[in-house]
Chains A and B, each alone.
Chain A
Amino acid sequence: MNGSVRRLAVAAAVLGVWSGGVARGETPAAPAAPSVQVDGRDVSKLSQIEDATLEGLLGLSLEEQLGQTESVSRSRESVLRAPATITTIDATQIRLSGASTVPDVLRFVPGVTVVRNAPGNYVVSLRGTGGLASNNVILLVDGIPLNNPLDGTVSWDLVPLHVEDIERIEVVRGPVSPTYGADAYTGVINILTRTSIGLTPSYLVRLRGGASPQGGSAGSLSARFVHMGPKLELRTFLNAVHDDVAAAPANPAIPATAPAGDRLAAMTVLSLKVSRTSSVSLEIGGVWSRRSGMDHLVLDSQAQTQRLLFGRALYELTDLGGHAGNFRLWAQSINVEIRAPSTAETGFTYDGAGSLRGAVGTDLVFPLSGTLSLQLGGQGSIERIEAPFVNPNANRALRPAYGFYAGLKASPSRALDLVVTGRGDLVPIAAELEYSYRASAIYHRDSWGLRLTGASAFRTPSYVEATGRFIDPASQLILLEGSDHIKSPRNTSLELGATFSPSSRLTISPTVYVSRLSNLMVEDFESLVRRTFRNSTTPRTFLGGELEASWRIADTLTVLPSAGILQWLDGAGEGDANVGVPSQNARFTGGLRVQGVLGNDRWGYGVGATVASPRSYRVRSGIPPIVIASNIPTTAFVSGVLERQLVAAPSLWGSVRIIGSIPGNAVESPLPLATPMGQSAILGIEFRRD
């Protein structure tokens, strides 16, 4: 009893002390709160707060840091969980790359091959499909395809924006036909137009001009206006460009000079938020462009003008089914006209070619449960092409095409996504249903993700390949003809990709893949009696690897290395396929960019270099055909920029850009009259409010 009374008395005394303390407003000493840690370092022990990244302080996961995309599945998803390899180049990276065209920005993306034939004339290809043809990748602007419906080619001079009016470029590599349909068999390049995160309305006018030691000059005048209101969004872009840098071939014995690459472009985006969950938007744009028409069929350097008109109306409904469902209904059209007032004595031009396509489509994402969602979509389109080099039976006909896709996404756990998508397309050229599919498993944690994707996709033969009829004006002989029994080239690929972030400053993304290209197109000039496009009977299989990283050493310094490698697994095959020939693809490409902003964002700098290993070509091409035999040695491309805010209010910026190849007369295109990449120094002045 004494013991229990004693214990009670002690307890009462302690209680009294404690409660007295509470009454005085003091709490007993609490244990110290755990220190704030970023990348394993105690923030309170840093000398500068800038030594901790904001992403680390906010505790952003890798998924949140990488952001979102719509370019892989045509619906919004995080980049980490998207079922394909995607590289995102944001506006700051574009501006600090020093590049003045989209292809020059793309040089730094692993797995992308860029070849400049002449000013304004580029061929861009992905993953082992380097070669002479430029119809193996889809160019999108805000998701609107801008490939020429006639032959599926991409004209990079028809991008309707100045490169610095681009918000982001998303390069999706691998077979993505299950989403985009009958052409996206090596990937898509989606250019997103600039929005504004700063003041609204914002506007900008920029003037650039410079010259080249290889001869020629380049300049541009462009403007943009952006208003981002709570309900109404209006964005308008204007761009005028002149480029005749290094327009003369490197061989002084060749007198021909390529015409300058000139263009005028305008584009407007109008969006209206109808209600909390629905919006409508209208995008229209047009480009007039003049450049050398040189390509694998036109071997001469004569000028070719193109006029592009495009538009899309889009209705979007979000928040379906209570969580993250989405419905879109869209209508889009594209018209491309080509004129080539030829001054050449011989040779073929695309003069008189016109194409028109109108399409309507729908995309629906519907959550079936918390872990399962369904994606459905379809489109119907009508095309009309007209050209003097098309079989009269096929000219001017209206041709419909249809596609329908369905996908299922399951997330059995928070860390695992399983995605399956299948698509069928009925296209005018292939008389049967063509299919494509993709299956992906994506495992993701806070700071890393792993993706395994198998996919098969095809490219529908173009009207030129199926119905072309190229007649020599001198002899009236048919030099090359399409074949209406031609099959669709196909790409089947298995890839394993990873993204991991050892710290909030460093992100590394390696990818390995094996790819099989079959039914590749051969422009068969070997036949004696009738030369046609036909399919190669030899599939090409190759292994590829890509690596890219982003290392933000400080707020003022970011390093961005990239590398790509190709290893062909089967023999050389037929040399006349117009893409996918091993010797025509650089075995190794590498790049490095260093960039940053300084001085309260008043200075910006960037420098980058890429290098591509040698390529060689031995192929019969052109109309009339000649043997193109060319060895392209290791080529290096460099671009850099230094910019400074000259006046704070109104905001006036000056810049100097250096861009070009080393050496300056290096030619990276095998075409006989191709001009060097050249070097140029460009000064710029920019007035902006944003």
Chain B
Amino acid sequence: MRRSALTRYRWRNIAASLFLWPLLAVHPAQASKNRNAAILARVLSFELSLDERVGPSVGVAVIYKRGDPASEANAEEWLQGLAELAAVRIKDRPFFAIKVVYAPDALRAAIDQGGIDVLLVADGLTAESEVIAKLARAKHVLTAGNAASYVERDMTLCVTEQGGNIKIIVNLNAAHLEGIRFSSSLLKLATIIR
């Protein structure tokens, strides 16, 4: 009795599928992170205080938690998204993005010597968000978080997906403490937290 083609080549098919899967998989997460990165850059162009507090370029530090693969993966997604925009200027300024492991000293150094103007906090740093926010307020840098929970607590800005739509959330009190002012053109498109 002949076996069917499926059972005859069963193991070959399974092996082929395993080999081909990474080639065939779409990366929806990265696609949306590219868009979120573009939105973040656009939001920065609406910041009225940008000219006063940044130098010749706008620096974004993507902060992640050491030893947390999910946090680092999230940071990597953001970095890739911002890297896509490497040739695009914000308010006539080039901008760059780097990945930084969370450590208060490292952050301080990045701001003081690395030309960092925006702290973008990846997932997994909820416990550390207060310290990050405090530093940002002292140094007048903008804090942005990957999740809405960040901006509900301490941080100024969040670009996140909610219900299939991308939302911008702005915490005006945090912005005020960080010395950040946004144009009303942005605020009318954002969800405001006071």
Q: Verify whether A and B have any Cβ pair under 8 Å.
A: yes
Binds A, one of B44-52, B104-112, B150-158: B44-52
CA distance A32 to B45 in the complex (A): 27
- List which A572-618 residues lie within 8 A (CB) of chain B: 597, 600-601
| A275 on the B face (CB < 8 A) | no
CA distance A28 to B19 in the complex (A): 10
**Set of chain A residues within 8 Å of B23, measured between Cβ atoms:** 28, 30-31
A197:B188 contact, CB within 8 angstroms: yes
A199:B41 contact, CB within 8 angstroms: no
**Set of chain B residues within 8 Å of A277, measured between Cβ atoms:** none
A8:B11 contact, CB within 8 angstroms: yes
Q: Contact check: which of B42, B44, B185, B189 meets A52 at CB < 8 Å?
A: B42
**Given contact pairs A8-B11, A11-B12, A199-B172, A44 touches B88 in the complex (Cβ within 8 A):** yes
**Set of chain B residues within 8 Å of A43, measured between Cβ atoms:** 38, 85, 88
20 additional A-B residue pairs with CB within 8 Å, beyond A30-B27, A46-B88 = A7-B12, A12-B15, A33-B34, A36-B34, A49-B45, A49-B85, A49-B89, A50-B90, A52-B42, A54-B42, A55-B189, A59-B35, A59-B165, A197-B184, A197-B192, A198-B172, A230-B194, A597-B183, A600-B183, A601-B183
A198:B88 contact, CB within 8 angstroms: no
Q: Interface residues, chain B, CB within 8 Å of chain A?
A: 11-12, 15-16, 18-19, 22-23, 25-27, 30-31, 34-35, 38-39, 41-46, 48-51, 84-85, 87-92, 165-166, 168, 172, 176, 183-189, 192, 194
B166:A58 contact, CB within 8 angstroms: yes
A50:B91 contact, CB within 8 angstroms: yes
CA distance A45 to B87 in the complex (A): 7
CA distance A254 to B122 in the complex (A): 76
Q: Can you name 16 A-B residue pairings with CB atoms under 8 Å?
A: A8-B12, A15-B19, A31-B26, A35-B34, A36-B35, A48-B89, A48-B92, A49-B41, A49-B90, A50-B45, A50-B90, A58-B168, A58-B189, A92-B184, A198-B187, A555-B185
A44:B12 contact, CB within 8 angstroms: no
Q: Contact check: which of B22, B35, B49, B189 meets A30 at CB < 8 Å?
A: B22
A34:B31 contact, CB within 8 angstroms: yes
| A47 on the B face (CB < 8 A) | yes
CA distance A30 to B166 in the complex (A): 24
A54:B172 contact, CB within 8 angstroms: no
A58:B39 contact, CB within 8 angstroms: yes
Shortest Cβ distance from A558 into chain B, in angstroms? 10
B19:A54 contact, CB within 8 angstroms: no
CA distance A363 to B87 in the complex (A): 54
**Set of chain B residues within 8 Å of A8, measured between Cβ atoms:** 11-12
**Given contact pairs A43-B88, A44-B84, A48-B92, A59 touches B166 in the complex (Cβ within 8 A):** yes
**Set of chain B residues within 8 Å of A15, measured between Cβ atoms:** 15, 18-19
Number of interface residues of A (CB under 8 A): 42
**Set of chain A residues within 8 Å of B43, measured between Cβ atoms:** 54
**Set of chain B residues within 8 Å of A230, measured between Cβ atoms:** 194
Residue from B19, B87, B168 with most neighbouring chain A CB atoms (10 Å): B19
**Set of chain B residues within 8 Å of A50, measured between Cβ atoms:** 42, 45, 90-91
Shortest Cβ distance from A151 into chain B, in angstroms? 39
**Set of chain A residues within 8 Å of B41, measured between Cβ atoms:** 49
| A346 on the B face (CB < 8 A) | no
| A359 on the B face (CB < 8 A) | no
CA distance A372 to B39 in the complex (A): 36
CA distance A601 to B45 in the complex (A): 12
A48:B88 contact, CB within 8 angstroms: yes
CA distance A627 to B117 in the complex (A): 73
Interface pairs A-B: 8 shortest CB-CB: A11-B15, A33-B31, A33-B30, A28-B22, A600-B48, A44-B84, A197-B187, A49-B41
Shortest Cβ distance from A644 into chain B, in angstroms? 14
Select from chain B the residue with minimum beta-carbon distance to A27. B22
Shortest Cβ distance from A82 into chain B, in angstroms? 19
A54:B46 contact, CB within 8 angstroms: yes
Select from chain A the residue with minimum beta-carbon distance to B18. A15
| A433 on the B face (CB < 8 A) | no
**Given contact pairs A27-B22, A33-B27, A57 touches B39 in the complex (Cβ within 8 A):** yes
CA distance A600 to B185 in the complex (A): 11
**Set of chain B residues within 8 Å of A35, measured between Cβ atoms:** 34, 84
CA distance A360 to B176 in the complex (A): 43
**Set of chain B residues within 8 Å of A49, measured between Cβ atoms:** 38, 41-42, 44-45, 85, 88-90
A44:B85 contact, CB within 8 angstroms: yes
B87:A44 contact, CB within 8 angstroms: yes
**Set of chain A residues within 8 Å of B12, measured between Cβ atoms:** 7-8, 11
**Set of chain A residues within 8 Å of B44, measured between Cβ atoms:** 49
**Set of chain A residues within 8 Å of B42, measured between Cβ atoms:** 49-50, 52, 54, 57
Select from chain B the residue with minimum beta-carbon distance to A47. B89
CA distance A197 to B38 in the complex (A): 24
| A251 on the B face (CB < 8 A) | no
| A14 on the B face (CB < 8 A) | yes
Select from chain B the residue with minimum beta-carbon distance to A649. B181
